């Protein structure tokens, strides 16, 4: 459909509805994404030992980057940008790998590796039409499944009171009480709520948990008073360091995230626009995501990706107006220019974050399972998935098992199950013979026939 200045339809990409009509739908997208945007920098800040000021900066720039990235993909620049009704921003998919890299090399190591990872993502975007077949659902689904499974311990530690098990008051019943109330609230809102309440269940849970934590003395406002109202981000707030192990880990997860981006953009075009994803849109989406990931590293923002929860909103409402999603992006951009907003976000207690996000991690796991079921569960595919899960989660649970490996290899695979899962699934998918359920059934029939023939021959010989 051609752009029309009089087009006010919310169901057309170029439609520009009245602001008051667009605003509630835009806020739904903001509410759906905000918890996913602020939680990764909070987690990583705890891992790398950031100061309160650095933690505020990581949150502020994550929110700002999410707004800019969304607007960039809605409107595009040259060949960059998906030009689809999709929300982009700092996402959870990278968190397990960032935790592993940050624990060894700090935020400097993350940002240096992220720069290379973003460039790699652009390379993938350029060649995606030639290599898309190398990442079928059995590979992508395995990786997404491991991402979800590897995040559970983070949520449990948060519910118990801190990301550090040695922290004071860790595991106290008060922490568990607040965390479980938050979790129950999210479940009630998501399963029994209507409209905005249902779509923003995580935010509803955080608000309820926050209000309970306030009188219990679990909320610290000391950082809010000193935070500035307006601050423009600066280039290179952190130095960049380049470590081979960190680079390998980020390159792998960036390539895998490209597969997830393919899935999200495909879901957006099919469910929201009733058509297949165009090659130009796919290429632009991956090129744009790689560019924003690389550029974000210079400002201290973590890697960007599509937001699956917002894809779900588009699929459910069929609202694909670029104008509606642009309002959400502008809101995030403005919020990202205010350190005061980031400071308020840091006051959310760990048990509240844990109770709210454990459901998100669970949904990531189920998304992986959904991807897997797009392929036949043949013996071949079950071998790929099973072995990838066994090696990745097994090595992660017993890091001392690879203590004799070269140090570089230990750094790459020791703390990042996602890397082991991705490499294992990718390699096995390439080398194992491709057999369908029908092929395997024929093999069993042939074996049965051969056994029957051998039995008959044996009987004849015995008679002789």
Residue 1 has pLDDT above 50, yes or no: no
- pLDDT recorded at residue 278: 85
Higher per-residue confidence, 24 vs 179? 179
Q: Is 431 part of a structural domain of the chain?
A: no
Which distant-in-sequence residues (6+ apart) come within 8 Å of 447 by Cβ? none
Residue 43 lies in a domain: yes
Greater confidence (157 vs 67) lies with 67
Task: Give residue 164's pLDDT.
Answer: 66
Q: Is residue 424 part of a domain?
A: no
pLDDT digits (tens, 9 = 90+) for 117-155: 999 999 989 888 787 778 788 887 887 788 778 778 878
- Domain presence at residue 87: yes
- CA neighbor of 343 nearest in space, from 231, 232, 225, 233: 225
> Is 433 a member of any domain?
no
pLDDT of residue 236: 87
Per residue in 408-434, pLDDT tens?
677 667 666 777 888 888 899 999 888
pLDDT cut 70: percent of the chain above it: 92
As for how many domains the chain has, the answer is 1
Dihedral pair phi/psi, residue 241, rounded to 5°: -125, 145
**Domain residue limits at 154:** 19-383
Can you tell me the mean pLDDT for 318-330?
Answer: 89
Q: pLDDT band at 401, cuts 50/70/90?
A: confident
Distances (CA, A) of 219 to 247, 348, 378: 37, 7, 51
Mean pLDDT, residues 243-262 = 83
Kindly give the interhelix angle for 152-160 and 173-192, rounded to the nearest 10 degrees.
120
Residue 462 belongs to some domain of the structure: no
Please compute the mean of the pLDDT values over residues 180-197 and round it to a whole number.
84
Distances (CA, A) of 152 to 148, 155, 357, 360: 7, 5, 9, 10
| pLDDT band, residue 81 (cuts 50/70/90) | very high
State if pTM tops 0.85: no
pLDDT single digits (tens) 163-180: 666 778 788 888 899 999
pLDDT category, 285, cuts 50, 70, 90?
very high
Q: What is the mean pLDDT of residues 266-282?
A: 80
Q: Is residue 235 part of a domain?
A: yes
Contacts of 25 (CB under 8 A, 6+ apart): 10, 317, 319, 324
Across the range 257-268, mean pLDDT stands at 76
Stretch 442-462: mean pLDDT, rounded? Answer: 78
Query: Could you tell me which residue, 100 or 326, shows the higher pLDDT?
Result: 326
In a domain, 104, yes or no: yes
């Amino acid at each position: 459909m051609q752009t029309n200045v009089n087009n006010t339809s919310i169901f057309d990409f170029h439609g520009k509805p009245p602001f008051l009509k667009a605003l509630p739908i835009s806020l739904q997208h903001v509410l759906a994404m905000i918890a996913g945007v602020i939680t990764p920098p909070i987690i990583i800040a705890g891992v790398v030992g950031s100061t309160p000021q650095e933690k505020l900066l990581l949150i502020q720039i994550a929110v700002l980057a999410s707004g800019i990235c969304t607007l960039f993909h809605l409107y595009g620049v040259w060949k960059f940008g998906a030009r689809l009704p999709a929300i982009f921003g700092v996402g959870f998919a990278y968190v397990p790998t960032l935790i592993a890299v940050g624990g060894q090399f700090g935020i400097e190591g993350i940002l240096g590796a992220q720069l290379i990872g973003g460039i790699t993502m652009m390379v993938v975007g350029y060649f995606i039409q030639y290599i898309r077949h190398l990442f079928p659902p059995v590979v992508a689904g395995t990786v997404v499944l491991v991402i979800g499974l590897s995040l559970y311990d983070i949520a449990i530690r948060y519910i118990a009171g801190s990301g550090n098990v040695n922290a004071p008051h860790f595991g106290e019943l008060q922490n568990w009480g607040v965390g479980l109330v938050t979790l129950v609230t999210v479940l009630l809102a998501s399963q029994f709520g209507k409209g905005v309440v249902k779509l923003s269940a995580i935010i509803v849970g955080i608000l309820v948990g926050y209000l309970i934590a306030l009188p219990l003395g679990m909320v610290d406002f000391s950082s809010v008073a000193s935070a500035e109202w307006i601050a423009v981000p600066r280039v290179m707030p952190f130095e960049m360091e380049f470590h081979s192990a960190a680079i390998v880990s980020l390159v792998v997860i960036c390539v895998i995230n490209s597969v997830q981006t393919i899935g999200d953009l495909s879901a957006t075009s099919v469910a929201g626009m009733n058509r297949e994803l165009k090659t130009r849109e796919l290429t632009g989406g991956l090129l744009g995501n790689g560019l924003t990931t690389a550029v974000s590293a210079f400002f201290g923002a973590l890697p960007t990706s599509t937001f699956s929860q917002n894809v779900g909103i588009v699929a459910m409402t069929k609202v694909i107006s670029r104008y509606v999603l642009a309002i959400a992006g502008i809101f995030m951009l403005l919020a990202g220019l205010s350190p005061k907003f980031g400071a308020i976000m840091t006051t959310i207690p760990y048990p509240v974050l844990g109770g709210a996000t454990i459901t998100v991690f669970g949904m990531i796991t189920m998304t992986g399972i959904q991807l897997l079921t797009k392929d036949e569960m043949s013996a071949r595919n079950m071998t790929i998935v099973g072995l990838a899960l066994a090696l990745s989660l097994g090595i992660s649970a017993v890091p001392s098992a690879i203590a004799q490996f070269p140090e570089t290899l230990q750094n790459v695979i020791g703390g990042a199950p996602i890397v082991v899962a991705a490499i294992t699934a990718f390699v096995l998918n390439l080398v194992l013979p491709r057999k369908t359920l029908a092929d395997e059934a024929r093999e069993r029939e042939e074996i049965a026939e051969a056994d029957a023939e051998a039995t008959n021959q044996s009987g004849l010989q015995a008679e002789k």
